[in-house]
Amino acid sequence: MSIRIRIAVASLASLAAAVPVSAQVVLNEVMPAPGTDWNQTGSYSSQDDEWIELLCLGPSGVDEWIVGDGSGGAATPRFAVGDTLQTDEILFVTGELASDWESANGFPSVGLSLNNSSDAVYLFQVAGGATTLVDSLVWSGSTADVSVGRLPDGVGSWTDFDALSPGGSGAQPTPGGPNGGPATPKILSTSVSPAFPSSADTVTVQTTAGDTDGIASCSLELIVDGGAPQAIAMAPASGVPTLGTWEAALGPFPGGSELSLVVTVNDGSLIAATNPILVTVTAAGSAVAINEMLADPPAGLDGDANGDGVRDTADDEFVEIMNRSAGPVDLTGWEIRDATSQRHVFASGPVLQAGEMFVVFGGGSPTGIPAGADVASSGGLSLNNTADSVQLVDGGGVIQDAHTYGSEANADQSLIRVPDGTGAWTRPGDQGFGWAFSPGAANVGTTSITSTSWSRVKALYRD
């Protein structure tokens, strides 16, 4: 159940005694929790895509109008305008524009800095040497891509703008335009399955979207390896035109292919589109696979995965790979990457024999590991506990294996394949195993030792 924005406009008397009875410029609409590319730059940013609207109800003269948020008010302005605004003119201010203003005026470049869970926006007027609060908006929760605005513009009560909400206003966010206008289609989610398809896989693209006017069509633009765009119609899979799911099946594609996918929904007059979704196709039946990874080492010596006698949240992270082919594989030039960066390069070897494993730790001095081991050449693996993507890339730049995980990794235990090398991803605890991780050892058939006894066994190698 999503948290709805709850609006509580503080009484003017409680905020400032000098608040004018009728302000010339007011807050008109606010987007605290953007989930898409509202400033139309081609990429989403949680900071840059926040936005607010100011509406001029009457001639503003040349007074300065300052926007501040709940953390600093007028003392920490996020944006200011000193131009003359015309009656009924709407000023649309994005987080990106606010960042530029802050940089130019000697403030930290943090944009509008709207907190999703609870925050406030204040509008101040600077005139005659006095700074006066003229409008404000306070909220205690927010939902992605749901704005709050006055209906009717400038003078009405604050209303959630999300046409798909039961009992809602029937209006969608209208950045830079009059509130309460026609509902634009809203894309609620888009997924690609599998996230890292192999050259043997069919790629399924699925999107869920809705519109009070109904979705007339849903289409997919596909670009392969930077080539010409291909338009592909997506078919209804479930639901109804006002809220349903559409999908399309693509491929297979050769290993190493780079796919760019953009989903567009149309209600017959208005459209909405996703940002480009980039997908890399891995090699089918790759010889070497990721077999185990630890992003969240347990506390204390129980988390000393590398066996050097010290538990370290970074050094004891590891990625274990396995040669699941029938012959040797030279790893020279191969890499381990996560979602943001290259983390390890196998500069020279090793050559893994059939069934052999190799473990790369975040750091430290790996000791007592029953397989070859090394530490990340970049200085760390930097595996995010709650969401990341680990890729194994060969010397030619082709992703040979990859696994994307979420909060399941934040559990004081590793993620493992069962059976080794080829099985589905799971966790030791989910399989009833008595250990939290087993770097360099088989996941199936590993003795039921606890992480504490595992550390003690490896300590023998240090004595």
The CATH number of whichever domain residue 137 belongs to comes to: 2.60.40
- Which of 301, 377, 363, 371 is closest to 335 using CA atoms? 377
Residue 71 pLDDT grade (very low, low, confident, very high; cuts 50, 70, 90) = low
* Residues 340, 398 share a domain: yes
* Residues 155, 54 share a domain: yes
Tell whether the torsion through CA atoms of 73, 75, 81 and 83 is positive or negative. positive
With a CB cutoff of 8 Å and minimum separation 6, the contacts of 167 are none
Q: Which of 229, 247, 280 is the last residue of a domain?
A: 280
Strand partners, 204: 193, 249
Domain with 370 in it: what CATH number?
Answer: 2.60.40.1260
Q: Which of 144, 161, 178 is the last residue of a domain?
A: 161
What confidence score (pLDDT) does residue 351 get? 96
- pLDDT: is 229 or 258 the higher one? 229
CB 230 within 8 A of CB 222: yes
Q: Which domain holds residue 104?
A: 12-161
What confidence score (pLDDT) does residue 16 get? 30
Cα(416)–Cα(438) distance, rounded to whole angstroms?
A: 9
* Residues 432, 346 share a domain: yes
Cα(93)–Cα(51) distance, rounded to whole angstroms?
A: 6
Letter string b/e over residues 413-425, b meaning 16 or more CB atoms within 10 A of that residue's CB:
bbbbbbebbeeeb
Model confidence over 189-202: pLDDT tens digits?
899 998 878 888 99
Q: Which of 258, 280, 302 is the last residue of a domain?
A: 280
Helix or strand holding residue 451 (H, E): helix 451-462
Cα(395)–Cα(222) distance, rounded to whole angstroms?
A: 27
* Residues 357, 273 share a domain: no
Helix or strand holding residue 263 (H, E): strand 258-266
Write the Ramachandran bin of 252: left for phi over 0, alpha for psi from -120 to 50, otherwise beta: beta
169 inside domain? no
* Residues 140, 122 share a domain: yes
Cα(122)–Cα(137) distance, rounded to whole angstroms?
A: 7
Q: 56: which 2 tokens?
A: 């001029």
Q: 423: which 2 tokens?
A: 């099985």
6 inside domain? no
What confidence score (pLDDT) does residue 92 get? 92
Which residue is listed with tokens 């039946």? 285
118 inside domain? yes
- Which of 204, 278, 195 is closest to 234 using CA atoms? 204
CB 11 within 8 A of CB 45: no
E strands, 177-330, are 186-193, 203-210, 217-224, 230-233, 235-240, 243-250, 258-266, 271-273, 277-280, 288-294, 318-323, 329-330
361 inside domain? yes
7 inside domain? no
* Residues 455, 318 share a domain: yes
Domain with 219 in it: what CATH number?
Answer: 2.60.40.10
180 inside domain? no
* Residues 151, 241 share a domain: no
* Residues 230, 120 share a domain: no
* Residues 78, 121 share a domain: yes
* Residues 222, 91 share a domain: no
Model confidence over 88-121: pLDDT tens digits?
889 999 999 999 999 998 888 999 999 888 889 9
* Residues 130, 51 share a domain: yes
Domain count within the chain:
3
What confidence score (pLDDT) does residue 375 get? 98
5 inside domain? no
pLDDT at 17 over 60: no
Model confidence over 408-460: pLDDT tens digits?
999 999 999 999 998 889 999 999 999 999 999 999 875 444 445 555 455 55
**Average pLDDT score, the chain:** 85
3 inside domain? no
Q: How many CA atoms lie within 13 A of 347 on its CB side?
A: 5
* Residues 155, 73 share a domain: yes
Cα(439)–Cα(427) distance, rounded to whole angstroms?
A: 13
Cα(276)–Cα(262) distance, rounded to whole angstroms?
A: 5
Cα(160)–Cα(246) distance, rounded to whole angstroms?
A: 27
